[in-house]
Structure 1
Amino acid sequence: MLDDLDRRILRHMQSDPDQSLPDLADRIGLTASRLSRRLDKLRASGILRGQRAVIDWRALGFEVEVSLRVTLDKTQTRAFDEFLAAARDIPEVIEIQTFLGRVDVRLSVIARDMAHYQVIYRSRILTLPHIADIETLMHVARIKSDERLPI
């Protein structure tokens, strides 16, 4: 599993993901080649899944976020598969989660404004297959959004 050096590497990467490989190696006290081998090992083991660009969708003009809690008609054997496949094709759906319980799926939907959301809701969301019930939650504020792990 992870040793202390791996944990230290991951902590530094989480605290400053934009730092260069040589800078990270200097901070940790490794050569760049040794750090590179460690990172390759972490990627090969599936612990480090790569780096990504995090884009602030609000900066691109999307001002509305809505959570939709969807209950599916589970009398249909392919309800989950068909619903999820269709929901993935909606560009404004930025997150899909599935649950056990009364609610089956939660969709996070973004829109430029409420008029745009209404178009998305009527023309794309309501046409998704096998919906038995939808509850809409209007997003007001994100209090904590942190992907850093306590390593």
Structure 2
Amino acid sequence: MISLDTIDRQVLRALSEDATQSASALGRRFGLSQPAMWKRIRRLEEAGVLAGRRLKLDAEALGFGVTVFLGVKLGTKGRVSLEDFERAVRAIPEVQTVEHVLGLYDYRLRVVARDIADFERVLRRRIMTLPGVGDVEANVLLSEERRPGPLG
């Protein structure tokens, strides 16, 4: 585990808010030269603390106004492999995340749809026909607040 100092934590917070910031801009912000900041970022990447930079798409602006979290319990665990289910569910474009979880359900899916009718179509025609699907519970997202994470 890498030891993080105050500047490391500030850099991580800044990048979690906007990963497009340059080493030069971050260096100016935190009182470091561009090469010093670049070395710091590189060290965080090599240690695995920074594991890529992602572009966040606005699903609603793209016409997907409904987000639903699905709890999926596999009904035939002995007959279908987890890999078969995961492979099949990853092929559904409306499914944004697939999380294998411990608890009441085996998987948690984040599904986007244009509206409730579109979600019903995705649920009936795509998700409920997946290999091994048993019980499903849907929770419609009303609002979301993003938190930067536990950076101390």
1:93 — aligned with what?
Answer: 95
Matched, 1:37 2:39: yes
Q: State the distance in 1 between where 2:136 and 2:55 align.
A: 32
- Equivalent residue in structure 2 for 1:10, among 9, 12, 17: 12
Distance 1:75 1:114, change over 3 A: closer
2:151 — aligned with what?
Answer: 150
1:135 — aligned with what?
Answer: 137
One-letter amino acid of the counterpart of residue 72, structure 1: L
CA deviation vs aligned residue, 1:97-148 (integer Å, no higher than 9, x gap): 2222221111111111122212211211111111121122222222x22234
Distance 1:82 1:10, change over 3 A: same
Distance 1:147 1:92, change over 3 A: farther
RMSD between aligned residues: 1.9
2:67 — aligned with what?
Answer: 65
State percent identity of aligned pairs.
35
Q: State the distance in 1 between where 2:140 and 2:93 align.
A: 19
**For structure 1, which segment, 60-69 or 76-85, has the greater mean C-alpha deviation from structure 2 after superposition?**
76-85
1:119 — aligned with what?
Answer: 121
Structure 1 unaligned residues grouped into runs of 5+? none
- State TM-score, norm by structure 2: 0.86
Structure 2 unaligned residues grouped into runs of 5+? none
Q: Is the 8 A contact 1:76 1:130 kept in 2?
A: no
- State TM-score, norm by structure 1: 0.87
Query: Number of residue pairs matched?
Result: 150
